[in-house]
């Protein structure tokens, strides 16, 4: 996971991270305080990742990070949700 953008506008934090070892190439995230305002995955399984992003809106960073960390995809040691959890963990 590599953070490629981390900026603030007013009280909203905008983060873009490049994923590693998964089908999606990047994750965009909007956060205010400890609450996820929006998330988007670029590449990967579109419907599944849109679903994950929708379920995370309005949730606390720590809650989502706990639920998604350690999820694997097939034989891979990580997954798009796990990469998202790693990104969220790096924000705290």
Q: Alpha-carbon distance 60 to 76, whole Å?
A: 27
pLDDT in tens, 30-56: 999 999 999 999 999 999 999 999 999
Single pTM value for the model: 0.95
Q: Is 62 a residue whose pLDDT tops 80?
A: yes
Domain of 59? 2-91
SS3 87: helix
For position 86, which CATH number holds? 3.30.390
Q: Is 84 a residue whose pLDDT tops 90?
A: yes
Q: Is 92 a residue whose pLDDT tops 80?
A: no
Locus of tokens 């579109």? 46
Angle at 56 between CA 6 and CA 27, to 5 degrees: 35
* Number of domain units in the chain: 1
């Amino acid at each position: 996971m590599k953070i490629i953008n981390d900026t603030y506008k007013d009280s909203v934090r905008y983060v873009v991270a490049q994923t590693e070892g998964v089908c999606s190439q990047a994750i965009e995230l909007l956060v205010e305080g400890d609450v996820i305002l929006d998330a988007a995955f670029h590449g990967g399984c579109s419907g599944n990742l849109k679903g994950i992003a929708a379920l995370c809106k309005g949730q606390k960073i720590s809650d989502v990070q706990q639920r998604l960390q350690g999820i694997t995809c097939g034989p891979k040691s990580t997954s798009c949700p796990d990469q998202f959890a790693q990104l969220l963990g790096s924000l705290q």
